Amino acid sequence: MSVFAQYIADGIVTGSTLALGAIGLTLTYNTLRFANFAHGEFLTFGAYFALLFAGTFAGTQTFGTLTFGAGFLVAIAAAAACTAVVALVLDWLLFRPLRKSDIAVTLVIASFGASLMLRNVVVFAWGPQPQYYSRSISIASEIMPGVRMTADELFVVALALVLMLALHLFLSRTRLGKAMRAVSDDPALARVTGIDVRGVIRATWIIGGALAAVAGVLFGLTVQVLPEMGATLILPMFAAAILGGVGSIYGAVLGALIIGLAPSVSVAWIGPAYKPGVAFVLMLLALLFFPRGLLGERR
């Protein structure tokens, strides 16, 4: 049972990271009605921007039991802001002109091309070798019987929870959040009622890019920073969004936790060799009974 509890803890850490990325995918789909395969590269840019700023803000010092300094939090915020700018520029240069086309698949194919381009920009700027935020080794501590986690992993879960709660309050309590929900329901009707749809689109890219950047930093903090990390995570993020229900932000969070937990827990029964495919098999089985996802709208 102690081993099983440890697998659950590891899955929660992975699911927390995937949830932030899946939320960005869902926001983009809700507002712009297309699957953005370049979203994974926002995670990569966020991780590398934080790597760049970590040294500037002395973020690689040891701070308490964490393997980074207090300045690393500033580096995360700066990385989120820079990644949001990258998302806005990409939309302005590529997606905005293509939205005039009536062919929906055009945006999807364009996002594939943008993904390849952004990935190569990362390799050109930072090189292909893996990098780390800190070379110090983080020692896991027992937080409950049979469960050991490092301070970094606890930080990942805590920050993800804080950001998800902040997003919930933003969407439900603020005027811009309500406008984003209105545009996702019916863009034409929202425009008629006086909502600035272009402003909502900009806000969507900013929030989605910023959350993706934080997800990339959290993944790099617990694993490593690689140019291919976005390409590695994009399919699990899509699986989380689809499993939870495309268009449902809360469904994306639920789907991400399931996608994170399933491979980790399955190791106890089928071994690590089949771990990557477990989440997708689970997603397909769930969609057989819930075609619109676990929390998707029934219409």
Would you give the DSSP letter of residue 225? Answer: B
Per-residue pLDDT at 137: 67
d(CA 80, CA 86): 10
Residue 39 contacts residue 24 (beta carbons within 8 Å): yes
pTM tops 0.85: yes
Average pLDDT over residues 156-178: 93
d(CA 177, CA 129): 40
Pick the CATH number of 2-289 from 3.40.50, 3.40.109, 1.10.3470, 3.30.1330: 1.10.3470
d(CA 132, CA 126): 12
At residue 63, does pLDDT exceed 60?
A: no
Q: What is the maximal distance between C-alpha atoms in the chain?
A: 58
**246 closest CA partner among 298, 181, 182, 296:** 296
d(CA 134, CA 68): 7
Per-residue pLDDT at 3: 76
Per-residue pLDDT at 283: 79
Per-residue pLDDT tens for 95-108? 999 888 767 788 99
Per-residue pLDDT at 185: 85
Rg (CA), the chain: 19
Write the DSSP assignment of the chain as a string of letters: -HHHHHHHHHHHHHHHHHHHHHHHHHHHHHHH-S--TTHHHHHHHHHHHHHHHHHHTTTTS-BTTBSS-THHHHHHHHHHHHHHHHHHHHIIIIIHHHTTSS-THHHHHHHHHHHHHHHHHHHHHH-SS-B-S--SPPPPEEEETTEEE-HHHHHHHHHHHHHHHHHHHHHHHSHHHHHHHHHHH-HHHHHHTT--HHHHHHHHHHHHHHHHHHHHHHHHHHS-B-TTHHHHHHHHHHHHHHHH-TT-HHHHHHHHHHHHHHHHHHHHHH-GGGHHHHHHHHHHHHHHH-TT-SS----
Average pLDDT over residues 107-121: 94
Burial (CB < 10 A; 0-12, 13-18, 19+), residue 9, is buried
159: confidence class by pLDDT, cuts 50, 70, 90: very high
Per-residue pLDDT at 201: 93
Per-residue pLDDT at 151: 85
Pick the range with the lowest mean pLDDT from 43-47, 173-177, 212-216, 242-246: 242-246
Burial (CB < 10 A; 0-12, 13-18, 19+), residue 287, is middle
Per-residue pLDDT tens for 209-263? 999 999 999 999 888 999 999 999 999 999 999 899 877 888 999 999 999 988 8
Residue with tokens 């990644």: 83
Per-residue pLDDT tens for 218-232? 999 888 999 999 999
Average pLDDT over residues 128-156: 84
Instruction: Please count the residues of the chain.
Output: 299
Per-residue pLDDT at 286: 79
**pLDDT above 70 as % of the chain:** 91
Per-residue pLDDT at 69: 63
Q: What's the one-letter identity of residue 283?
A: M
298: confidence class by pLDDT, cuts 50, 70, 90: low
Residue with tokens 């399933």: 262
Average pLDDT over residues 162-185: 92
At residue 268, does pLDDT exceed 70?
A: no
d(CA 211, CA 156): 13
At residue 64, does pLDDT exceed 80?
A: no
